[in-house]
Amino acid sequence: MATVTKKAAQRQGFKTGEYIVYPAHGVGLITAIEEQSVAGHTLELLVIVFEKDKMTLRVPVAKIASVGMRKLGEAAEVKKALETVRGRPRVKRTMWSRRAQEYEAKINSGDLIAISEVVRDLYRSESQPEQSYSERQLYEAALDRMAREIAAVNKCSETEATKQIEQNLAKAPSRAKAAEEAGSDDDDDQEEAA
């Protein structure tokens, strides 16, 4: 009996059938916990499936903390992430290559708030100039990671989660003004003015 609770403690509360966030890959589903013998040692592995990427990852239980794997965010964290995308974009005046590295690091951090900052900073509305290819790639990667986690937390489709994010992006103060200046008579802008 003691070994069962010891093993459960080592898994840090992770169990099969549970969605998790793996920093380098996003949201995955723990499909099994298996034991494998490697060089005479028995390792307990979490089998994580990333369906969208058609990838299966086996993570040794002992490495859970060091790889930064975490449980899905709570509803409050999702709310904070959506509030973050409504904020004013913060773009540093550094070279694009340096900013791109920072954005990439935020995306791969697995932190929902950091990812939402990348979405906020790289979003372009129709009235704004077009993005470069690399900006677009980073934006789409961040949007995808954010949508996957929100979809898993809110138990909705990724498409619905993406719409939710984009609706919040459109509510950002600078974007609402830009839409008004472009002659848009969007209902959201009128509500914001009221």
pLDDT of residue 176: 52
pLDDT exceeding 90 applies to what percent of the chain? Answer: 54
Query: What mean pLDDT is reported for the chain?
Result: 83
- Are 103 and 97 in contact, with CB atoms under 8 Å apart? no
Pair (32, 50) in one structural domain: yes
Q: Give the mean model confidence (pLDDT) for residues 41-56.
A: 90
CATH number of the domain bearing residue 98: 1.20.58.1290
Q: N- to C-terminal Cα distance for the chain?
A: 63
Does the pLDDT at position 2 exceed 70? no
Q: Given this model, what pLDDT does residue 5 score?
A: 41
Q: Are residues 66 and 88 in the same domain?
A: no
Q: Residues 114-135: what's their mean pLDDT?
A: 89
Q: What is the pLDDT of residues 138-191, one digit of tens each?
A: 999 999 999 999 999 999 999 999 999 999 998 877 655 554 444 444 444 433
Do 14 and 64 form a contact (C-beta atoms < 8 A)?
yes
Residues 27 and 87 in one domain: no
Q: How much is the pTM?
A: 0.79
User: Looking at the predicted structure, is the pLDDT value of residue 40 above 90?
Assistant: no
pLDDT at residue number 1: 40
User: What residue numbers bound the domain in which 186 lies?
Assistant: 75-193
| Residue 37: per-residue pLDDT | 87
Instruction: Report which of 169, 171, 115 is spatially closest to residue 144, judged by C-alpha positions.
Output: 115
The tally of domains found in the chain comes to 2
143 and 93 belong to one structural domain:
yes
Question: What integer pLDDT is reported at residue 51 of this predicted model?
Answer: 86
**Residue 152 sits in the same domain as residue 177:** yes
Q: Where are the alpha helices (DSSP H) in 59-127?
A: 64-67, 75-85, 96-109, 112-122
